[in-house]
Structure 1
Amino acid sequence: MIPNFEEKYGDDAVFTPSDALNAQGEGVVDVPPAVILGYQDELTDAVRERANRSVSLVGSQTLFWLSETVGYVPVHEAGIGAPVSGIVTENVVAGGADAVVMLGGCACLNPEIPPDAAILPTTSVRDEGVSHHYLRSDDDVEATPDLVDDLDDALGAAGFDTPRGRTWTTSAMYRETGVEVEHYRENGAVSLCMESAAIWAVCKYRGAAAATVHQIGDYLAPNEWTPESGGDAGLREMLTPSVEALTKYVERAQ
Structure 2
Amino acid sequence: MTDHHDGSVPILANKHYAEESAFQPGNLLREARRQKGLAVRAVPAICVLDPDGDLVRRLRRDGRATADRDWACYHSELDRFVESDLEFGIVGCVVGASYAVLVAEQLFAAGCRLLISMTSSGQLQPIRPPPYFILIERALRDEGTSYHYLPSSEFSQADAGVLATLEGAFDGLREPVLSGATWTTDAPFRETERTIAAMTARG
1:15 correspondence with 2:15: no
1:164 correspondence with 2:179: yes
Q: Tell me, in whole angstroms, the C-alpha distance in 1 between the residues paired with 2:58 and 2:165.
A: 22
Aligned to 1:3: 11
1:106 correspondence with 2:121: yes
What is the RMSD of the two structures over their aligned residues, measured on CA atoms? 2.5
Please state whether the residue corresponding to 1:6 is helix, strand or coil: coil
CA contact 1:152–1:162 (8 Å) conserved in 2: no
Q: Tell me, in whole angstroms, the C-alpha distance in 2 between the residues paired with 1:2 and 1:106.
A: 30
1:128 correspondence with 2:148: no
Structure in which a larger fraction of residues adopt strand: 1
Q: Tell me, in whole angstroms, the C-alpha distance in 1 between the residues paired with 2:162 and 2:59.
A: 21
CA contact 2:67–2:77 (8 Å) conserved in 1: no
Q: How big is the shift at 1:163?
A: 2.1
Q: Tell me, in whole angstroms, the C-alpha distance in 2 between the residues paired with 1:66 and 1:149.
A: 27
The 3 A distance-change label for structure 1 pair 3 and 12 is farther
- Structure 1-normalised TM-score? 0.64
Q: Tell me, in whole angstroms, the C-alpha distance in 1 between the residues paired with 2:39 and 2:150.
A: 27
The 3 A distance-change label for structure 1 pair 7 and 146 is closer
The 3 A distance-change label for structure 1 pair 2 and 137 is farther
Aligned to 1:30: 42
Q: Tell me, in whole angstroms, the C-alpha distance in 2 between the residues paired with 1:172 and 1:73.
A: 22
> Residue deviations 1:160-182, cap 9 Å, x none?
12221110000012112222222
Q: How big is the shift at 1:131?
A: 0.8
Larger radius of gyration: 2
Higher relative contact order (CA 8 A, sep 6+): 1
- Structure 2-normalised TM-score? 0.79
Q: Tell me, in whole angstroms, the C-alpha distance in 2 between the residues paired with 1:158 and 1:150.
A: 17
Q: How big is the shift at 1:135?
A: 0.8
The 3 A distance-change label for structure 1 pair 150 and 37 is farther
> Residue deviations 1:6-41, cap 9 Å, x none?
343243222200111122344864111111100223
Range moving further from structure 2, 47-56 or 28-37: 47-56
The 3 A distance-change label for structure 1 pair 98 and 109 is same
> Residue deviations 1:30-87, cap 9 Å, x none?
111111100223222122232255343322422222235421111x1xx521111010
The 3 A distance-change label for structure 1 pair 131 and 7 is closer
Structure 2, gaps ≥5 residues long: 1-8
The 3 A distance-change label for structure 1 pair 82 and 121 is same
Structure in which a larger fraction of residues adopt helix: 1
Aligned residues: 185
